[in-house]
Amino acid sequence: MNILILDEEVYLAQKVAMRLQEEGNNCTHVANIKEIDFTTNYNVVLLSTNISSSDVHKIIVNFKNSIIILLVSYINDTTVTKPLKDGASDYIVKPFIMDELVRKIYHYEEFKRLKQNNNNLENYINFAFNNIEEVQEVPKNLPFVIETKDQRIADKIVFDVAKRLNKTIKFISLEKHTKINPNDFKDELLYIYDFHYAKKASKDLILNTIFDYDVIICSLEDVGKIQYPKVTIESSNKLSVVDSILTINDYVKLMVISFQNKYPDTELSRRLGISRKSLWEKRKKFGIEKNRGN
């Protein structure tokens, strides 16, 4: 990591720098704000609050994307409360144990990395579910079963429920698990996403053991009459799982319905290898309403 140390106590700053450099970090020490190169990106800023509060504020604002740990001689609103509100990550009181400072640095470095990963995953999930229609009639109580030919719809429902319940999702595949004990996942939202793979005896056993647990089951086939709420979703405008070879017309129809909101007519017809006029004729033939914006 690239670390900036601003502290007027030269001996302390050098001691901190030596310890961090031993662990492979690059450290730059300055004694006042005039020595700082504000064009350099620092992963971590160790900032003494013995300088003026206006300078502390300026440094925090400029390095707002860095991990900022305050080095304070005493605690009050000026040295701790206000800098933390401005965006500093944490503080440590002088004199401090070196291991404690190092622990704080790596703690916040790990937290920042996990936060970035979480944001990336959340952005991907939002992107993946962006074109999936909202399902209005979703049971409020668990467990329940989803019947759909498009598993992405079920996935979206599960993620929405997990967010509402503030629970992590445990994904279970019946291709790999022949027996499931819901009590092993009582603190999680259990998502059985391929219920259609199980044999009838296994299905009955599962349905008889999930009554008091937070479980959502997805099946690409009709599960028949069951004791739990069931959501049946027909995918009318999304690319669905198919179990047979499509005719050319059925294929074109499926592609137009699935991708007309993603590509303009010129690009869609080019990818299908037909003219725009032919695309218009097929929409008319199949009764496909043209989306706005195409």
- Model confidence pLDDT, tens digit, residues 14-28: 999 999 999 899 999
Whether 178 shows a pLDDT value over 70: the answer reads: no
Least confidently predicted of 157-166, 179-188, 238-247: 238-247
Mean pLDDT computed over every residue of the chain = 87
CATH assignment, 2-124: 3.40.50.2300
d(CA 97, CA 80): 19
- Going from N- to C-terminal start, the domains of the chain cover 2-124, 144-233, 248-286
222, 229, 224: which is closest to 145 by C-alpha? 229
Q: What is the pLDDT of residues 57-88, one digit of tens each?
A: 999 999 999 999 999 999 999 999 999 999 99
Q: Give pTM, 2 decimals.
A: 0.62
Q: What is the pLDDT of residues 194-219, one digit of tens each?
A: 888 888 888 888 999 998 899 999 99
pLDDT bucket at 291, cuts 50 / 70 / 90: low
pLDDT bucket at 42, cuts 50 / 70 / 90: very high
- The predicted pLDDT at position 239 comes to 47
pLDDT bucket at 174, cuts 50 / 70 / 90: confident
- Considering 37-41, 242-246, 247-251, the range whose residues carry the highest mean pLDDT is 37-41
* Domain 144-233 homologous superfamily, CATH: P-loop containing nucleotide triphosphate hydrolases (3.40.50.300)
Q: What is the pLDDT of residues 83-92, one digit of tens each?
A: 999 999 999 9
